[in-house]
Amino acid sequence: SALCSLLNLKGVGYMGSLEDLWRLQNHNNILKEINNSINDFSNLKQIEMLGKRLKDMEKKLKDLDRRIKENASILHKNNFILKEYDYKLRAIEKDLYEGQIIDLKQLSFLDREREDLRKEIEEKEMEILLGMEEIEELKKEFTQMEKDFNILRKEYSKLVKSYRVFIEELKDKAKNEKQKIEEISSKMDEKIFNKYINLTKTKGIAVVEVIESRCGGCNMLLPAITMDRLKNHREIIYCENCDRILYLK
């Protein structure tokens, strides 16, 4: 009739088929939710963001370490130059103060050279002082960033580990649901199963629960005759409006 479509299944056989369809759909829904959770990239994006931050921090740490070493090398060279200046200054002052040089021009030249050296020494000492301060600041920055890096790395490792555990658990659940789906579908009548598959493809949900005499798929109020047939559990009945299989607990 136009009211419903019937499959010639009666008694226990019919009830078993409908209950199997209901269970099959529930397991398919659970499997779908699990797969959606597995494909949810929100946690993965968070991991990728942390991974990127770690790489950026690691790059900055390497750059700081390079700058510290370069500045330390410059400081070492400046200290060596300063020692040479001091040696030259002492040599000039020795010539000036021991009185062995009596030529006024030569004395005047040595005096100017001494003053120039003193200025160069002052400038070099200032340069060394600033270099030491810069190295100290770079070391402080490196120490703090290294501390933050280690904290972030622990957080990253923990998140990756928990994500892997989470995914493995979901995969185990998905495997279990697939086994249940296979067990149910392998025992079902082929025509019923094919009808279920077609409805799932076209309607999304194949089997809908009847609640308060209404179709759970389209919400249409079901006629009394349909409700009687559902209560008798003698037929597989489809909604005359949306064609979904009706299920009454």
Say yes or no to pLDDT of 126 above 90. Answer: yes
Contact at 8 Å (CB) between 7 and 191?
A: yes
> Does the global pTM surpass 0.75?
no
Half-sphere exposure of 239 (CA within 13 A, CB side): 26
pLDDT at 24 (0 to 100):
94
Residue 92: band (very low, low, confident or very high) from pLDDT cuts 50, 70, 90 = confident
Give the whole-angstrom CA distance, residue 234 versus residue 6: 10
Q: Residue 86 — very low, low, confident or very high, per pLDDT cuts 50/70/90?
A: very high
- Section 136-148 average pLDDT: 97
Residues 163-181: tens digit of each pLDDT? 999 999 999 999 999 999 9
The answer to whether residue 146 scores a pLDDT higher than 50 is yes
- For helices 11-38 and 104-187, the axis angle rounded to 10 degrees is 180
**Residue 207 · residue 25 · CB < 8 Å:** yes
| Structural contact between residues 31 and 177, judged by C-beta atoms closer than 8 angstroms | yes
pLDDT tops 60 at residue 93: yes
The Cβ of residue 29 has, within 10 Å, a number of other Cβ atoms equal to: 12
Q: Over pLDDT 90: what percentage of the chain?
A: 69
- Whether 3 has a pLDDT exceeding 50, the answer reads no
Question: What CA–CA distance (Å, rounded) separates 202 from 171?
Answer: 27
Contact 163, 47 (CB under 8 A): yes
Task: In whole angstroms, give the CA distance from residue 28 to residue 188.
Answer: 15
Mean pLDDT of the chain: 88
- What is the percent of the chain with per-residue pLDDT over 70, rounded to a whole number? 92
The answer on pLDDT for 5 being more than 50 is no
Phi, psi of 221 (to 5 degrees): -75, 125
67: how many CB neighbours lie within 10 A of its CB? 15
Q: How would residue 207 be classed by pLDDT, with cut points 50, 70 and 90?
A: very high
Instruction: Output the pLDDT for position 37.
Output: 87
| pLDDT digit string, tens, across residues 16-49 | 688 889 999 999 999 999 999 888 877 788 899 9
In angstroms, what CA-CA distances link 38 with 70, 80, 97, 210? 48, 63, 88, 32
Instruction: Say whether pLDDT at 76 is over 50.
Output: yes
Is a pLDDT exceeding 90 seen at residue 240?
yes
pLDDT at 8: 33
Cα separation, 4 vs 225, in Å, equals 10
- Say how far apart CA 76 and CA 69 lie, in whole Å: 10
205 close to 244: Cβ distance less than 8 angstroms: yes
- The answer, yes or no, to whether residue 9 has pLDDT greater than 50, is no
pLDDT higher than threshold 90 for residue 151? yes
Look at residue 104 in the predicted model and tell me its pLDDT. Answer: 76
Specify the residue for token string 């946690």.
Answer: 43
So what's the pLDDT on residue 99?
67
Distant-in-sequence contacts of 200-204, Cβ < 8 A, 24+ apart = 200/25, 200/28, 203/242, 203/243, 203/244
According to DSSP, the residues that pair with 247 across neighbouring strands are: 209
